[in-house]
């Protein structure tokens, strides 16, 4: 996921066709100049680097119970406005608007009201990549690959701003885009035309530009799918998926994520991938402590330390997860591993997931400091704290 002020972020949990897209679905290049240009004041966010006062966020933490803190790390997909409101009132940190959500939520100030229904403002999120992964009425955004082929980098930033302003007007505060995967897959494959290019330098320029445009428009961007889904063996909606070994990812797939972390002002979504040389046996990247450390520390792939929020991909609609874990198990394992936000597609198991995370905190499988740090990362992203 840093300079993103005046943004209240609501995040809506991803779905099978959402965060990861359709179910049938050695020096790094520097970040493009256009992406590094300052965004408008309205989209600036507080820095997430070191050097904050020791008291930063203590007022927020003091007013939340352990269970309420746990809820801030959960994002759920919702059916309609009533479902979203109930979830926020139960304490979730965000809701996700999917392809199945009643489209009336996009009008009449509905999502703005949902965001204010809890003790802490909620994130409202959506998948708006363009092309076949488009959820916002009127976005009219082409696929990433088409955008990179037909527009300049400056035009890509302008498109990001246009769509960002539209989403902000509807009450959406987080977009699970851009897709930073480097891929030469056919257009209709799991990544395919969701990728800007099979050239990491092109992906860096266009993903950075589009993210900068979203910030200009007042929406928080989230780069996906770390550490790189572009050369995957299959579709994680359908089962386990492997990608090349970590040493190979460093030469290509990780380059856009390195640029994203170095540039700042965004979250990062971790996919459900098996990576030789990185992931532990039986654990995809979204549940892998080694993957979370790689992203958080940065040194293992030449990036800066990342202190923004780490989101998981959907934990309930993809067989790469559900073949092995229940939703409460997957949610808890992801947070234990070091993710800040566990994302899934339905409110049906929200109570059970909250119970499981609370139990993990009490058992110290999620240390109290780790819980607080995650709560504050999420709070900074949605401007619930300003330091």
Where are the domains positioned within the chain? 142-342+362-382
Question: Which residues are tagged catalytic?
Answer: 237, 313
pLDDT in tens, 176-227: 999 999 999 999 999 999 999 999 999 999 999 999 999 999 999 999 999 9
Residue 18: pLDDT band (50, 70, 90) is very low
pLDDT at 24 over 70: no
pLDDT at 2: 38
pLDDT at 386: 84
CA-based radius of gyration for the chain = 18
pLDDT at 19 over 80: no
Pick from 309, 22, 52: which is nearest to 173 by CA?
309
pLDDT at 51 over 80: no
Residue 6: pLDDT band (50, 70, 90) is very low
User: Exposure of 384 by Cβ count < 10 A (0-12 exposed, 13-18 middle, 19+ buried)?
Assistant: buried
Distance in angstroms (rounded) separating the CA atoms of residues 363 and 366: 8
User: How far is CA 210 from its chain centroid?
Assistant: 15
Q: Which two structure tokens, joined as six digits, stand for 387?
A: 């330091």
Arithmetic mean of pLDDT over the chain: 88
Pick 209 or 3 by higher pLDDT: 209
CATH class in words for 142-342+362-382: alpha beta
pLDDT at 45: 34
pLDDT in tens, 35-44: 333 333 333 3
Distance in angstroms (rounded) separating the CA atoms of residues 123 and 220: 10
Distance in angstroms (rounded) separating the CA atoms of residues 114 and 172: 11
């Amino acid at each position: 996921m840093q300079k993103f002020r005046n943004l209240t972020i609501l995040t809506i949990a991803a779905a099978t066709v959402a965060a990861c897209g359709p179910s049938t679905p050695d020096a790094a290049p520097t970040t493009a100049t256009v992406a590094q240009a300052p965004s408008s004041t309205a989209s600036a966010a507080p820095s997430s680097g070191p050097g904050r006062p020791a008291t930063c966020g203590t007022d927020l933490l003091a007013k939340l119970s352990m269970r309420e803190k746990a809820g801030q790390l959960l994002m759920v997909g919702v059916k309609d406005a009533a479902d979203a409101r109930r979830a926020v009132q139960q304490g979730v940190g965000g809701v996700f608007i999917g392809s199945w959500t009643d489209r009336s939520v996009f009008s009449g100030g509905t999502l703005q009201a949902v965001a204010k229904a809890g003790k802490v403002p909620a994130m409202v999120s959506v998948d708006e990549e363009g092309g076949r992964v488009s959820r916002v009425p009127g976005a009219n955004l082409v696929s990433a690959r088409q955008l990179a082929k037909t527009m300049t980098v400056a035009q890509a930033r302008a498109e990001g701003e246009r769509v960002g302003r539209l989403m902000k007007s509807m009450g959406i505060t987080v977009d699970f885009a851009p897709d930073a995967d480097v891929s030469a897959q056919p257009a209709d494959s799991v990544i395919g035309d969701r990728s800007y290019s099979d050239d990491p330098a092109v992906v860096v320029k266009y993903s950075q530009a589009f993210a900068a445009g979203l910030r200009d428009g007042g929406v928080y961007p989230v780069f996906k799918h770390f550490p790189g889904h572009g050369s995957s063996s299959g579709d994680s909606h359908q089962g386990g998926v492997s990608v090349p070994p970590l040493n190979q990812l460093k030469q290509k797939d990780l380059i856009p994520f390195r640029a994203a972390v170095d540039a700042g002002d965004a979250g990062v979504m971790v996919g459900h991938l098996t990576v030789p040389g990185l992931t532990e046996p039986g654990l995809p990247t979204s549940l892998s402590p080694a993957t979370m450390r790689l992203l958080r520390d940065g040194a293992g792939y030449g990036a800066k330390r990342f202190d923004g929020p780490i989101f998981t991909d959907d934990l309930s609609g993809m067989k790469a997860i559900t073949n092995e874990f229940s939703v409460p198990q997957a949610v808890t394992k992801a947070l234990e591993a070091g993710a800040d936000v566990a994302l899934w597609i339905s409110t049906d198991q929200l109570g059970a997931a909250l119970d499981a995370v609370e139990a993990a905190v009490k058992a110290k499988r999620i240390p109290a400091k780790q819980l607080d740090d995650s709560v504050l990362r999420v709070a900074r992203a949605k401007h619930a704290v300003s330091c």
